Amino acid sequence: MGRRKGGIGIALATGVILAGTSACGGGHGSDAAAGDGASASGKPAASASPSPTKPAGPPMLLETITPQTGTTVGVAMPISVIFTNPVAAKARATVEKHMKVSASQPVAGAWHWFGDRRADWRPKTYWPAGTKVKIDADMKGVSNGNGRYGVHGYTHTFQVGDDVRADVSVTGHTMKVTRNGKAVRTLSINAGSAQYPTWNGTMAVIDKQEKVHMTSCSVGISCDKGSANYYDLTLPWDVHLTQSGTYVHYSTGDPDPGSGSARGSHGCVHLSLADAKWFYGQVKQGDPVTITGSSRAKAPADNGYADFNLGWDQWLAGSASGEQTATTL
């Protein structure tokens, strides 16, 4: 199910605006993230001018930093930085070194570039539950390699909460939920149809909403009201997994998931109304939802926060400065 919105992101100063496609995948839609269209609820005040040793030029600014300061997130949540302008390959190592990650527990991790405007830092394995994390992005005087120089420093602090995970078996029609390694509940689910299969892989929760208006037209499935694949619905208890529109939620068209009677979704994971409400109350941004058994490939790593769909060697291949250990807080 779904509708389109802007890109993912968190306003630098205050508010959280995590937006993406609300769709259930739109089986043949784009495999990549939608872009950087989040609204900012605040602008940071200028704190300094570029270093006098650097030539004057237009500013290099950070559009968003995820997670928002003060939030508690899941163990699969990356630090995601989006720049307002492209960062040249020759400048990325220097830029990475000026984005210092500190943690209360030592963790190995690295930056990885998705294109020339988004850089994510993730640990090699999931964050330990309870870890406190800080990112100091001291961009003052730093060049983006394209004639722009940073004029601000940015700091975000957040905490990793309980280790909540959901493991979805498409073929088994189940979702197993664990907290800190202990089984909590196993829920009945239905996933995507053969025509619109669900993404495989691990996707960290982007955000969640109590109600989302979803339409088939917005994701290119069908704009024909006479089509069997047409829908225009507002559905409850929506946990957002990908920008291309994958959700875990309740659907009025599939009220009894796991019964074997449903023809499948348009890519989402369906729960019963009671289970959807319960699951909504359990998860937070950054909790990993891992889906197996679908005929579809793993979600691209930048389709939301699916960073852990890349192996560590693949992750390091997109880093300019390589593996590092977070500084101890």
What residues act catalytically? 249, 268
* Selection from 78, 6, 23, 12 nearest residue 245 by Cα: 23
Helix (H) or strand (E) holding 275: helix 273-282
* Of 277, 274, 266, residue with least CA distance to 222: 266
Long-range pairs, 162-166, Cβ under 8 A, ≥24: 162/129, 163/74, 163/75, 163/126, 163/129, 164/74, 164/75, 164/282, 164/283, 164/284, 164/287, 165/75, 165/287, 165/288, 165/289, 165/290, 166/248, 166/279, 166/283, 166/287, 166/288, 166/289, 166/290
User: Per DSSP, which regions of 180-259 are E strands?
Assistant: 182-188, 201-204, 207-215, 232-240, 247-250
Using an 8 Å Cβ cutoff, are 234 and 1 in contact? no
Q: In angstroms, how far is the first alpha carbon of the chain from the final one?
A: 43
CA distance 272 to 253: 11
| CA diameter of the chain | 69
